[in-house]
Chains A and B, each alone.
Chain A
Amino acid sequence: MTGGLPLADLAELFVRFVTLSLLSIGGAMSTAPEMHRFLVRDRGWLDDGEFTTAIALAQAAPGPNLLFVPVLGYQVAGLTGAAAALIGILLPSTLLTLTVTRWGRTRRDTPAVRAFTGGLAPVTVGLLFSTAWVLALPFVREPAHRAGAVVLIAITVVLMLRTRLSPIWLIALGALAGATGWV
């Protein structure tokens, strides 16, 4: 985890996240595979573990899950990186949201808008599955922790679908299982 990053790289990070902002239909989490491609596979600024850690920290901490984005920026380039990533991911979508909201709330039922949501919905759900896959992959790849992690993932999925349990308890369970060496 390096503290400093050349200004050109920092600018590239910012521009990448600005672009991703406009593509983040369904939430910032749906762009996580693209962030992974850019930060881990293309640039090598982070490794798989650091990437997953950022998402785990944001899930563990209170607040919107979007906060994994500034953590990624922080891991790449400290506070400057965090600011570049957060402002980048928020600025375009914020301006667009305010513009569209003011433009009118009355067009929801027009065929064009319904086709937009309807046509994009399966792609969005596909992106969420892809994100889950990207998050699970480091565990599946690591033989030492595979069994425990797969069990933990399965328990989480079942409890989330079958009960109204708050995710915080599952996160605590995961932390406990990991700290005591089960996962």
Chain B
Amino acid sequence: MNRTPPPPAAVSAPRTPNSPLEMFVTFTVLALQGFGGVLAVAQRELVDRKGWLTREEFVDAYSLSQLLPGPNVINMSLMLGDRFFGWRGALASLAGMLFVPLVIVLLLAAGYNRFADDAAIAGALRGMGAVAAGLMFAMALKLLAALRRNPMGPLPCALLGLATVALVAVLHQPLVGVLLGLGALGWGLARRAIAREHRAP
């Protein structure tokens, strides 16, 4: 193997938060800037402005949070909070990420119930729904690029992806079975590919 993994904590972040309260406030500010996704704002606030993470640490945290179930940015806020202040930090970060945005979105939902009959508002929501579908298509298309470096190679990736779409979107199969079945298949295929790459570098 010709890969030399750099030690993740070789260069540590320049600054640390003073208290869980500071983490709560930072994550609240961060979340309130995130329309249609928080990740880009998180990178800017936590790495560029606060300096709590280096760029490398941010990438590492994101990789790990993608591997775990749960929303990636939520998992990253938990990891960062836990690293500085244990479970108190984790709770403070999580609450910062969720509390104020939750109040806002529920107020919007309650208002929508009241004004649902208004044609302009119904139309606006319909237009926003179409954009939401477009954003999701774009995100899926962007993430296709991440499969290029997949150890399995293009054909197994394409087949696994297409099988997922067919089972979930077309045939409406339960997600549990699809994830366990195709996930196990993918794990086996990737395991074999990685073993092969180790034997013949």
How many chain B residues sit at the interface, stated as a range, is: 35 or more
User: Which secondary structure dominates where chain B touches chain A?
Assistant: helix
Of B33, B108, B138, which contacts A156 at CB under 8 A?
A: B138
Looking across the interface, which residue of chain A has its beta carbon closest to that of B131?
A174
Q: Which residue of A lies closest to B184 (CB)?
A: A119
Q: Is the CB of A93 within 8 A of B70?
A: yes
CB <8 Å contact, B186 and A57: no
Given contacts A59-B36, A154-B134, contact A53 B129 (CB under 8 A): yes
A179 touches B123 (CB 8 A): yes
Select from chain B the residue with minimum beta-carbon distance to A57: B108
Whether B108 lies near A60 (C-beta < 8 A) is yes
Q: Cβ of A7 < 8 Å from any Cβ of B?
A: no
Considering only residues 73-92 of chain B, those with a C-beta below 8 Å from chain A are: 73-75, 78-79, 82-83, 87, 90
- Cα distance A100–B61 in the bound complex, in angstroms: 12
Given A56-B125, A82-B106, verify A65-B37 contact (CB < 8 Å): yes
A134 to chain B, nearest CB (A): 7
Chain A nearest CB from B156 CB (Å) reads 8
**What distance in Å separates the Cβ of A75 from its nearest Cβ neighbour in chain B?**
7
Interface pair A93/B69, CB less than 8 Å apart? yes
A128 touches B104 (CB 8 A): no
B11 at the interface (CB under 8 A from A): no
Chain B residues numbered 94-121 whose CB sits less than 8 Å from any CB in chain A: 94, 97-98, 100-102, 104-106, 108-110, 112-113, 120-121
